[in-house]
Amino acid sequence: MARQNVGTPRFYIDSGLYQQSIGAWTPNDDQKSLVQLNPTNVVGKPNNDIIIPRISPIRYVAFLGHSGGSYYPLFDDTDVDGFTEVVNMNGSQETDEDYSGFSIGIFSDREDATGVKGVIGNEDSTIGAVSIGNYYDMPHSPDLNLKLTTEYDGVKTIQTKGGATLSNASYTKPADWGDSGAWQLGSVDGQGASNLRSGRRVWDLSFSYLNDSDIMPNLGVQNYEDEAITEDILSGTDFFSQVINRTMGGHLPFIFQPDGANADPKADGFAICRFDMKSFTYDQVANNVYNVKLKIREVW
């Protein structure tokens, strides 16, 4: 168990959310609630699959708030290559997941594919959200002076004239995902596990000595003088292209894993988050080398 320690953070960035926000894709009416990265609205399975167009690399699928069954990704109608289970996903059309709750798997991108299907394989399944997109691993772990805060911003207290303290809690923890708590794994029969953890997590992280190619995009003019630029804002592998731009700097949520190398679901190692920042600043400390600070806040 990692006890919420931060290693090398991983950001799972939802391509469906990004495409909706720029007007590049509109989901079917019966699928809209499932592609908002909000697993609290658990519904019956609308159909066999949810298809996200591939306008940029796609390397993960996450099924959140599900009741168990078979969940797996397909590129168009073919199996993905290089599939790796992150949590509770077999990646097989024939095998049910070990637990209800949530499942995450990663795989190799395929440039010739037109889209990725997140397949929900059981007719009686219920599910809260399907997230499909790309993930980004920070080049290295953050500085040692990081800060993890647990907020109780839903709790308000007042003191009466007589000196008594009155408290009202509008919320103390993330809303449940159907019959189970957020980021909990239940039994194979769909009986979810309760979420007893309270509070909202906030990470303040600083990263030192990042190369410019790791964090800055290539914004050159495309096809200038017949010389095509092979990397643009959609295909770029840097932090801005993959994370900041795709989340619109905090407008869109993402799945955050504080330690991308830790695949133990018991480590409480996932959260749906937004950037809690008005701007992103790169502080140059050497030639083409920068320091970056991030504030990441759990949302629901």
pLDDT tens-digit map of 224-258: 555 555 568 888 899 999 999 999 999 999 999 99
Regarding pTM above 0.85, the answer is yes
Q: Please give the tally of structural domains in the chain.
A: 1
C-alpha to C-alpha distance for 224 and 205, rounded to whole angstroms:
38
Residue 56 lies in a domain: yes
Q: What pLDDT is recorded for position 94? A: 83
In a domain, 80, yes or no: yes
Quote the domain boundaries for residue 67: 10-137
Instruction: Report the CATH number at residue 45.
Output: 2.60.120
* Mean pLDDT computed over 22-29: 93
Query: Using one digit for the tens of pLDDT, what is the confidence trace for 266-300?
Result: 556 899 999 999 999 999 999 999 999 999 999 99
243: in domain: no
The predicted pLDDT at position 294 comes to 97
Alpha-carbon span 229 to 63, nearest angstrom: 35
Instruction: Note whether residue 157 is domain-resident.
Output: no
Give 210-245 as a DSSP string.
EEHHHH----PPTTBTTB--S--TTT--SHIIIIIT
Question: Is 110 domain-assigned?
Answer: yes
292 lies in a domain?
no
pLDDT digits (tens, 9 = 90+) for 170-223: 988 888 998 888 998 887 665 666 777 899 999 999 999 999 999 998 876 555
Residue 170 lies in a domain: no
Distances (CA, A) of 157 to 133, 167, 172, 194, 199: 41, 4, 13, 27, 16
Q: Does residue 29 sit within a domain?
A: yes
